[in-house]
Amino acid sequence: MNDDELVKRFLDGEESAFNQLARKYQQKIYWHARRLTGNHFDADDILQEVLMVMYNKLKDYKFESSLYTWIFKITYTRSLNLINKNKLKKFFSIGDEDTPEIRGDDDVARDVENREKLRLLDKILKELPVKQREVFVMRHFDELSYEEIAEITGKSTGGLKANYFHALNKVTSLMEREYGKKETDLRILGRQAG
Amino acid sequence: MEKKKRIFEYLDARQGNTGTDAFEADLKNDDALYGEFLAVKNSLAKFDALAEVEPDNGYFESVVPRFREKLEAKRSRAFAPLFWKLGGAVAVPALAVTLFITQPWTVENPVPVVNSPVTETIIAKVEPKTVTEPTTAVTAPVARVAKAVPVRQQLFIDSDKEELLLNSEDLTGDGTLISSHNKFETVYSSLLGLDKATLADAVDKYGFSNEEIAQNLSDEDIQKLSETLTPVSN
């Protein structure tokens, strides 16, 4: 059953149709929010908020654009607002150690190995400025087109492409810093020898 | 940098068929370009591997049930005030009518109070005493230490807080602030850009410190301010 049918059934009063929609999109919402905010607690809050907004506003949803673009738009604005809110909190509470950014629990990861991967991923993404991070997450992970990202963010595709270029450049540099270039150099030598 | 730009454009499929073919031909002939290409691909592959996280399925299974619980709680909260409003609307007039009918405060035949003869005799014997204030202190006054309970006082009204934050850009006086993609970023950057002298001016001007601002901003204030600066439009 496609999204439009599920929405119509939900609007006709079938609550289970909403559950199906929620289950279908929950991971995408979570990971989008997680990669933008950089921590589990904020991502979890945003996921619950987005579901609440979907539940209350699906009646206003116009079937002109795709549902996932609409959901991404809600998730994006909520994530951006939370990032801004956390920045304000951090600025005004010098010495307050109970800020979400400092809490290091990653409840979504299954084990220590996955938790460590997530920690490193969050660390690298957080080094990107928000403008670069948002386009990078939507393009690289969510695989949205520039037109879709422009619709969600309200920015020009030219600006988005420039920010994506800077983000890619920074991510590759940070990864080289983390892992070094030894392996790559060996592969080049191998090709030259062959 | 030009090489990297070409590599990123190739990976982002921005070059079109002709550009792609040209790039792939260059890759075969240019060792430096090939080396750079491998380095980028290698870094991105490692980065993508970081994103392949096996999630705890228990978490995702709990999302919808938790949402349903919140929804139910929200509905009952919305119902409770209605209940109390309706209940109050019925109960108050009912109480007023009951009191009007029964009028428990009116006594139809009041009985005059009559003292017994013994009581009258005692009252007659008691001499009236004049009470005067003592001219000297009997004991030295005990010094007391009053400890004030810290109370969050409203140092300034909300409009002042927002005015300060929104107009704080004017206090920085330098053009190095990073202009950003929305109004919040500009204000936030300007706040961060305050140097000590400017901050001191702000303290003199408004009569309070940054810490005091922080203490007086509740979560709701911060949320409100944040939403004012970046309104949610969904």
Report the C-alpha gap between B130 and B51 in whole angstroms.
91
Kindly report the nearest CA distance between residue A154 and chain B, in angstroms: 10
Say how far apart CA A98 and CA B30 lie, in whole Å: 52
- In 3D, which of B46, B50, B52, B59 has the Cα closest to residue A106? B59
Both tokens assigned to B53: 């996280």
User: What pTM, to 2 d.p., does this model score?
Assistant: 0.63
Determine the Cα–Cα distance for residues A18 and B32; give it in Å rounded to an integer: 54
- pLDDT for position B16: 82
Buried b (16+ CB within 10 A) or exposed e, B158-196: eeebeebbbebeebbeeeebeeebbebbbbbbbbebbee
Residue window 105-134, chain A: list those with CB within 8 Å of chain B. Answer: 107-111, 114, 117-118, 120-121, 124, 130-131
Task: With CB atoms and an 8 Å threshold, state whether A188 touches B35.
Answer: yes
pLDDT digits (tens, 9 = 90+) for A154-194: 999 999 999 999 999 999 999 988 776 555 555 555 555 55
> Exposed, middle or buried: residue A13 (CB in 10 Å: 0-12, 13-18, 19+)?
exposed
DSSP string of chain A, one letter each residue: --HHHHHHHHHTT-HHHHHHHHHHHHHHHHHHHHHHH-SHHHHHHHHHHHHHHHHHHGGG--TTS-HHHHHHHHHHHHHHHHHHHHHHHHHH-TT----TTT----TTBSSHHHHHHHHHHHHHHHTS-HHHHHHHIIIIIS---HHHHHHHH---HHHHHHHHHHHHHHHHHHHHHHH-SHHHHHHHHHHHH-
Predicted local distance difference test score (pLDDT) of residue B99: 82
Name the closest residue on chain B to residue A114, using Cα atoms: B53
Tens of pLDDT, residue by residue over B141-194, are 555 554 444 445 455 455 555 555 555 444 443 333 334 345 555 555 555 555
Q: Does A172 touch chain B (CB under 8 A)?
A: yes
**A162 inside 8 A of chain B by CB:** no
Chain A residue with CA closest to B220: the answer is: A85
- Encode pLDDT of B50-61 as tens digits: 999 888 888 999
What's the confidence (pLDDT) of residue B121? 76
How does DSSP classify residue B231? -
B67 in contact with chain A, both atoms CB, cutoff 8 A: yes
Chain B environment of A165 (Cβ under 8 Å): 5, 8
Longest dimension (CA), chain B: 131
- Beta bridge partners, A9, equal none
Write out pLDDT tens, residues A25-58: 999 999 999 999 999 999 999 999 999 999 999 9
CA distance B84 to B79: 9
Specify the higher pLDDT residue, B190 or A77.
A77
* Res. B204 pLDDT band, cuts 50 70 90: low
ipTM of the complex: 0.82
CA B101 from chain center: how many Å?
50
Q: Is A176 on the interface with B (CB under 8 A)?
A: yes
Q: Residues 37 to 76 of A: which have CB under 8 A from any B CB?
A: 47-48, 51-53, 55, 57, 73-74
**Contact at CB, B8 and A184, closer than 8 angstroms:** no
A169: closest CA of chain B, how far (Å): 8
Residue B39 forms contact with A (CB below 8 Å): yes
